[in-house]
Amino acid sequence: MGFSFGVLLRFIGLSVWHFLSLMIAALVVGQFLSLADPGTKPAEVGPIFLVSLIETAAMFWVVANSKLTGLRLLLASIVIFHGTKTLLMMVELAFFLNIWAAPPLIGLERVLALELHGLLMACLFCPVLVLVLKKWGRANFVSSPVNQNIALKILGVSVFYWLCYWSAGSFILIPLAGDAFNFTYGHLQVPHWLWLFQMGRGLVWAFIIYLLANYLKSSGFRLYFQVGLILAGLSAAQLLSPNPYMMDGLRYAHIVEILVSMLIFGILAAWVLRFEKPVDSLG
């Protein structure tokens, strides 16, 4: 899809719908499920809309350039969007700020509220995204990758994720955050099997990257860079909006850490999980 005034109007409209989806999901979770924290200070509109612009741009590119259509595209877009933006972050949040924190810095009911908010928001945003980009229709026959050595490659990606996670935390996050890191994470009781926990998250990342690497209309380093950029943008964008669980210094350090590590991880993981020999299947 080339740039045109029509594309710009669609992008602006979808960004507004992204913002409204966030608000609607927050209202539903807060009012009907009674899981929102009533003492939380309302967030500023400006940073939230900036997040909407970045995340809409990332998902706009994913859907517009996907080989998939119809229901398969809708499901894939929800998995990519929700998994990258919310699910994997909430899994880490639950362990680092509740289960391993003494005393807990966030209640598990609050984590559940944030997860439900993210899932509902994805289910509101993605169908409209697919519809507006005219990808909601009959399924087409598309090339599906042959899964040669897929288990070994996914395992390798999960190990590489742990290495990226540890390296980025040690050499980017901790030096940049300084005292803010110790203030927030100083009382963590991290188990010795943390590497297994992060490898488990790496398996989920591998599935998301598999979808991106094999169903985007691109190839070579351009494809790998696009995957890395999408992961980095969706993972880090929401930290542009202040939240009550992170000091600004720690939040800014996390943004740099995530952008660098997810870009590198996404590029190399997409290279590993890209399969060149297709067979026909229903898209």
What's the distance, Cα to Cα, between the start and end of the chain in Å? 19
Give the range of the structural domain holding residue 231, as residue numbers without chain letter: 5-282
ω before 242 within 30° of 0 (cis)? no
158 is written with which tokens?
């999960």
Q: Do 230 and 212 touch, CB atoms closer than 8 A?
A: yes
Helix H or strand E segment including 251: helix 248-273
Report the pLDDT value the prediction gives residue 150, as an integer from 0 to 100: 85
**Residues with Cβ within 8 Å of residue 81, at least 6 apart in sequence:** 55, 59, 122, 125, 126, 234
Residue that is written with structure tokens 């094999």 in the block: 214
Number of domains in the chain: 1
Q: What is the pLDDT along the chain (283 residues), one digit of tens a residue?
A: 556 888 999 999 999 999 999 999 989 987 655 444 544 555 678 889 999 999 999 999 999 999 999 999 999 999 999 999 999 999 998 888 888 887 888 888 889 999 999 999 999 999 999 999 999 876 565 655 656 688 899 999 999 999 999 999 999 999 999 999 988 887 888 889 989 999 999 999 999 999 999 999 998 999 999 999 999 999 999 999 988 878 899 999 999 999 999 999 999 999 999 986 544 444 5
Residue 121, Cβ density class (10 Å: 0-12 exposed, 13-18 middle, ≥19 buried):
buried
Report the pLDDT value the prediction gives residue 277, as an integer from 0 to 100: 54
The amino acid at 75: L
Q: Output phi, psi for 139, to 5 deg.
A: -70, 140
- The model's pTM is 0.90
3-state secondary structure of 145: strand
Distance CA 154, CA 128 (A): 32
Report the pLDDT value the prediction gives residue 60, as an integer from 0 to 100: 97
Please write down the HEC assignment for all residues of 54-67. HHHHHHHHHHHCEC
Distance CA 77, CA 75 (A): 5
